[in-house]
A and B are shown apart, each in its own frame.
Chain A
Amino acid sequence: MNREAQLIFEVSKAGRRAYSQAPKPVADDKLNDLPAALRRQSKPLLPEVSELQVVRHYTNLSSKNFAIDKQFYPLGSCTMKYNPRGANRAAMLPGFLKRHPLAPESHSQGYLACLFELQEFLKEVTGMKGVSLTPMAGAQGEFAGVAMIRAYHEARNDHERTEILVPEAAHGTNPATAVMCGYKVREVPVNDDGDVDLEALKAACGPQTAGLMMTNPSTCGVFERQVEAIAKAVHEAGGLLYYDGANLNAILGKVRPGDMGFDVIHMNLHKTFATPHGGGGPGAGPVGVSERLKPFLPTPIVGQDGDSYRWLTDADLPQTIGHLSAFMGNAGVLLRAYYYARALGREGMLRVGEYSSLAANYMLKRLQQVGYTAAYPDRRASHEFILTLAKEAKAFDVSAMDVAKRLLDYNQHAPTTYFPLLVPECLLIEPTETETKEALDEFIDAMARILEEARENPELVKGAPYSQPVRRLDDVRAARELNLVFRPGASA
């Protein structure tokens, strides 16, 4: 068996240790405080390996990664942009790394100052009136946002509002969030140009409307042109407007959700603010709110008293929706975003939106020239765009997934496939502002060659990838037969 394909558990040999990482032995009497019934009787099943084995195992595994540090990574709706190394350097200063989360405020003034300024930057760039950095991921930011909408209505004794409106082109997590917060979801259709069907929206608004969750630019890769009319319709019905920050990159510094009429927004710092992303985080999903939702922000928030900073807690915000984690957000991620915002400054932020949109529109035009079909040919792309391969699927029996897999053989990470759901056989492509024109051209050339292959030798595309450590994975079986627990002696 290929040693690199083994699990670290499978190379385990009793008695081997990685001394520098082993926990210090605990004297038996230290456990006396724990009731005997709660103490485990057998050792946990941990791999017993040498330090070199650990290093080699994970270095070999990591070399197989498709990653932003190795390849172009145009994963639409995910903003896989380059993470500047300077941000890591700043976040790893010993004063930050070794700060204890329970350290008194007087010992954490530098850290608190950074977070306070980050709150201010995010307010400024989104046009919102208050920001809390505490949500630990985009999903938690969404949860916090809709929980605030609920708290707002309840504080007004308005208990009839049971529905959240979600346009078809919203981010996929939005309906799940609304349900998590106890609302019913009502879907609003999108017209052929990717805009919300305004008449359908107006018809759906009523005294039962708690709010609307919207992604703008939407997952159709286009800017919602009637956003002001949408905001008016929802507000007139007494609902609030939620902005999903998944696509904030396209408009950063250009248009502000606060100015569009949104009451609450979450931002994915791990997308828009270039903090590490993918592989499950950690992320950061700060929320921003309009004036009327400020009392409900999740705690803690960093406040300023004269020259010093302190945590604002439930005592300062009696109507808060409360804590979302033990402390406040993912400190290291927030510090990286702070560095990024400081490094870019106001002008740099404007260029993020401009260059990410320019790159996307360049790719869209070039890919149309080589023969691909745009899902919204009459619309200018935002920072991402959709191709539909419905025609190719019919003519050559080559699907969007086949093209995505074939891209790996050209050393290009696949774009998002089959999302949004309303476009058949789609690829959602987002180049970001951090790529050179040469990198964009390489991807376009690869796509052009794959289209030729699909015409001349479709079997070649359907059998891809050929160059990777594994061939086409059986994703149906992987989903149907979950097998996640390693047991020694059990066959894989």
Chain B
Amino acid sequence: MSNIPAELRYAKSHEWVRLEHDGTAYVGISEHAQDAMGDLVYVELPEVGQTVAVADETGVVESVKAASDIYAPVSGEIIAVNEALNDTPELVNQDCYGDGWLYQIKLADKADLDGLLSAEDYAAQLEEDA
């Protein structure tokens, strides 16, 4: 069973969101997603300053098997991206919930979080998809 930290929220499309105390949130992809992709060779990140709505495309993760769009799990303004991924996309494989984060977003509406899955619900979705 893949690692699904209880304190995070999840999108059906396998992104995770971690809410910070300052009203911003970090976004990444789940362990299940990085495992299904295999070794990443390239990560395309959104632009800092870009405003996005829920489900907007906010980058691409590419492995030798596949390329997959990253969808914004919440709406808001991108305030930072993980530049380290430009040279070391493997961070997503090694530590998808930590050093492999993709971008930081300033939430436009905290209610967006209610539309996301809890760790328990996400685990149930993975179970169902399997």
Contacts and interface: CB of A to CB of B under 8 A. Distances in A.
A401 B89 CA distance: 22
Contact of B36 (A424, A479, A480): A424
Contact of A475 (B42, B64, B66, B68): B64
B44 interface: no
Interface string A470-488: 0000011001100000000
A417 B38 CA distance: 14
Nearest to A401: B65
A172 to B, nearest CB: 9
A421 B68 CA distance: 9
Candidate in A418, A424, A475, A476 with the most chain B CB atoms within 10 angstroms = A476
A479 B66 contact: no
Contact of B66 (A401, A418, A476, A480): A418
Chain B: interface size category: under 10
A479 B42 CA distance: 8
A418 B68 CA distance: 13
Interface of B: 36, 39, 41-42, 64-66, 68, 89
Contacts of A479: 41-42, 64
Contacts of A401: 65
Contacts of A476: 39, 41, 64
Nearest to B88: A480
B122 to A, nearest CB: 18
A255 B43 CA distance: 42
Which 6 pairs of residues, A with B, have the shortest CB-CB distance?
A479-B41, A476-B39, A418-B65, A475-B64, A421-B66, A480-B41
Secondary structure class of chain B's binding surface, majority of residues:
loop
16 contacts: A401-B65, A417-B65, A418-B65, A421-B66, A421-B68, A424-B36, A475-B64, A476-B39, A476-B41, A476-B64, A479-B41, A479-B42, A479-B64, A480-B41, A480-B42, A480-B89
A421 B33 CA distance: 13
B21 to A, nearest CB: 36
A176 to B, nearest CB: 10
A475 B63 CA distance: 10
A401 B39 CA distance: 13
B62 to A, nearest CB: 8
A411 B5 CA distance: 46
Contacts of B42: 479-480
A475 B42 CA distance: 13
Contacts of A480: 41-42, 89
Nearest to B129: A424
A417 B63 CA distance: 13
Nearest to B62: A479
Candidate in B36, B65, B89 with the most chain A CB atoms within 10 angstroms = B65
A424 B129 CA distance: 11
Interface string A399-437: 001000000000000000110010010000000000000
Interface in A121-138: none
A476 B62 CA distance: 11
Contacts of B64: 475-476, 479
Contacts of B36: 424
A476 B89 CA distance: 11
Nearest to A175: B69
Nearest to A400: B65
Nearest to A420: B66
Nearest to A390: B130
Contacts of A421: 66, 68
Contacts of B68: 421
B61 to A, nearest CB: 12
A479 B39 CA distance: 10
A421 to B, nearest CB: 5
Interface in A441-492: 475-476, 479-480
Contacts of A417: 65
A480 B41 CA distance: 5
A185 to B, nearest CB: 9
Nearest to B36: A424
Candidate in B39, B64, B68 with the most chain A CB atoms within 10 angstroms = B64
